[in-house]
Structure 1
Amino acid sequence: MEEKVFQMHAEVCKGMANPTRLRIMGLLREGEKSVEELRNKLKLPKANLSQHLSVLRQRRIVSTRRAGLNIYYKVANPKMIKACDLLREVLFEQLQESRQLIRGITK
């Protein structure tokens, strides 16, 4: 069972390991968005955006609903946003530490 969880964890991390997909998640944190809304905000060709959304959907990071001709995306589980936020906090802390190290070296 634990091995399966490690595999799932790795798959989710692979799915998120792209700046464009992280930007998509940043937009979806505000709530559900249509493909067209995402495309307009990200300035991406529709085919490119569809590939990224497909990766996120396959890994169950986002979910969809259809309304007429429109497809809407949302974060499948709000805990994904919390996980992204925690990682960003760690990265900001590391960036701050690096800046302090550089300041210490250049003094």
Structure 2
Amino acid sequence: MQVIKNKKVYEMQAEICKVLANAKRIEIIYLLKEGEKHVNELAEAMDISKASVSQHLSLLKEKGVVSSKKEGLNVFYTINNQRFIEACNLMREIMVDQLNELVSSSKEILSVEEE
């Protein structure tokens, strides 16, 4: 693996991570995984206001996570790169691993206390 010496790359990565560090934006990414959608569809699926969805989409678009195209009165959004979905899936897998470890540790502690 190549060691990156340019600090700017780490800063850029941190900016993308900040954008992804929001449950609503992650939900949007998973909804867009199924295909392009417009703000109304996303707002309805998420049960939040169109204004809120638009703000999240604006941030995602600014960081290159999603792109948009206008058709008539509707603006449709899509994921720019499927690797964003892979990244979210990987983080979810790590979380599940950690939860499984926690459950396993809890069971061990409880079984020791019962003896």
Q: TM-score range by the shorter chain?
A: over 0.9
Look up the match of 1:84: 88
Aligned residue pairs, count: 107
Look up the match of 2:99: 95
Query: 1:84 offset after TM fit, Å?
Result: 1.0
Q: CA RMSD in A?
A: 1.1
Look up the match of 1:33: 37
Look up the match of 2:59: 55
**Which protein shows a greater Rg?**
2
* Code of the aligned partner of 1:38: L
Gaps of 5+ in 2: none
Look up the match of 2:76: 72
> Which segments of structure 1 move beyond 6 Å, counting only runs of 4 or more?
none
For residue 15 of structure 1, the aligned residue among 16, 19, 23 is 19
* Code of the aligned partner of 2:100: Q
Deviations 1:46-79 (A, max 9, x none): 1111111111111111111111110011111111
SS across alignment from 2:44:
helix
SS across alignment from 1:25:
helix
TM-score by length of 1: 0.95
TM-score by length of 2: 0.89
* Code of the aligned partner of 1:33: K
Q: Does 1:45 align with 2:31?
A: no
Q: Using the alignment, how far apart are the partners of 2:6 and 2:37 within structure 1?
A: 34
Report sequence identity in percent. Answer: 42
